Each structure stands twice: as C-alpha cells, then as structure tokens.
C-alpha cells in the first residue's frame, strides 16, 4: 500500500525536477516492498489480497516511472512502448484465461523475473544519473535500457509460449 500511496508524490517530484526527493521516495518504496516480502515470509502471513496487490503495485510503479521518465526525456519512447506492450499483452491474456477458467497459474518465469530486475535497475540507474550526474553511469544506463528493450518482447514471447503449451496440454482423465 505504501508503494501505491507514494506513487503520485513520486510522479510530482519527477515532473517538478526535484530529483533527490524523487530518488528518496523511490528508495522508500523499494525498501518497504522488500521489508513487506521479508516479513510475510518470516511471519508466514501471506494473504490473498497481498498476492494480488504486490504484483499490481510493482507493475504500476514501474510502468508509471517508465511513462514519466519518458515524458521528461530520460527514457527513449521505444523502451517504454516495449515495456507497456509486454505488460498489456500479459495482462490481457491472463485476464482472458482467468475469466474463462482456462488457466489460473500465472507464476512469473525466471526470464520474467530477470526482466523485472533489469527494469528496476534501469529505473534506478536513470534516477541515480539525475541525482549524481558525475557518477559515470551513462554507459550502464544505456546498456540497461537496451537490455530492457530486448528482454521485454523476448519474455513476452516466452510467456505466450508457456501459456500456449499449458493450454494445449491434454487433460488427464480422473480415475473415478
């Protein structure tokens, strides 16, 4: 919930060019996400609401940051379009499969998790370049953004392949 609450303030600080405040808000959101996950595991307190809200908050945070950072000319449009296309495609397919009761297991693949990690690192690097302009991170920023541009459609294709295989598998008749 903290990530969702912090999001509008993060957008406002970026649009106002207050990079240090935006950077701090981003770190607070990230640390709260990590602590939330750690506490849920340690205390064994996983909830259905948390299972839905956590990935929604992650995607909403990342997607919004890509749009805002593109708006302020720090992320190329094509990267944001590829990220959004992947996420929208996965959302549409999973919603359709869930609504038709065809498939309800939407766990992310290793490539999907790697894609999200690279997106997080990319956003953090873009923000760090604004806060510490002399940090010589421009090359890393460029490599991360190109990696995101490649990984987004590749992981979308992998997700589509996994769904296609699962939906195409013949069902095993029950022994009654």
Annotate 85-141 with three-state secondary structure. Answer: HHHHHHHHHHHHHHHCCCCCCCCCCHHHHHHHHHHHHHHHHHHHHHHCCCCCCHHHH
pLDDT in tens, 33-44: 778 777 777 887
pLDDT in tens, 65-96: 999 999 999 999 999 999 999 988 888 887 77
CB 149 within 8 A of CB 79: yes
CB 50 within 8 A of CB 69: no
Question: Which of 21-30, 46-55, 146-155 is predicted most confidently?
Answer: 146-155
Task: Indicate the pTM of the whole model.
Answer: 0.85
What is the set of domains in the chain, with CATH numbers? 2-167 (1.20.120.1760)
Distance CA(3)–CA(20), nearest Å, equals 17
With the C-alpha atoms ordered 144, 149, 154, 155, is the resulting torsion angle positive or negative?
Answer: positive
């Amino acid at each position: 919930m903290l990530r969702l609450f912090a999001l509008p303030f993060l957008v406002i600080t970026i649009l106002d060019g207050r990079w240090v405040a935006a950077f701090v808000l981003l770190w607070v959101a990230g640390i709260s996400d990590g602590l939330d996950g750690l506490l849920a595991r340690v205390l064994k307190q996983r909830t259905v609401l948390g299972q839905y809200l956590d990935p929604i908050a992650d995607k909403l945070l990342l997607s919004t940051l890509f749009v805002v950072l593109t708006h302020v000319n720090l992320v190329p449009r094509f990267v944001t379009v590829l990220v959004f296309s992947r996420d929208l495609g996965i959302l549409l397919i999973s919603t359709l499969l869930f609504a038709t009761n065809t498939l309800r297991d939407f766990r992310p693949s290793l490539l999907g998790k790697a894609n999200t990690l690279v997106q997080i690192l990319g956003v953090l690097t873009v923000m760090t370049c604004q806060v510490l302009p002399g940090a010589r991170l421009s090359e890393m920023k460029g490599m991360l953004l190109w990696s995101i541009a490649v990984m987004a459609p590749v992981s979308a294709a992998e997700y589509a392949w996994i769904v296609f295989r699962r939906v195409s598998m013949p069902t095993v008749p029950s022994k009654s």
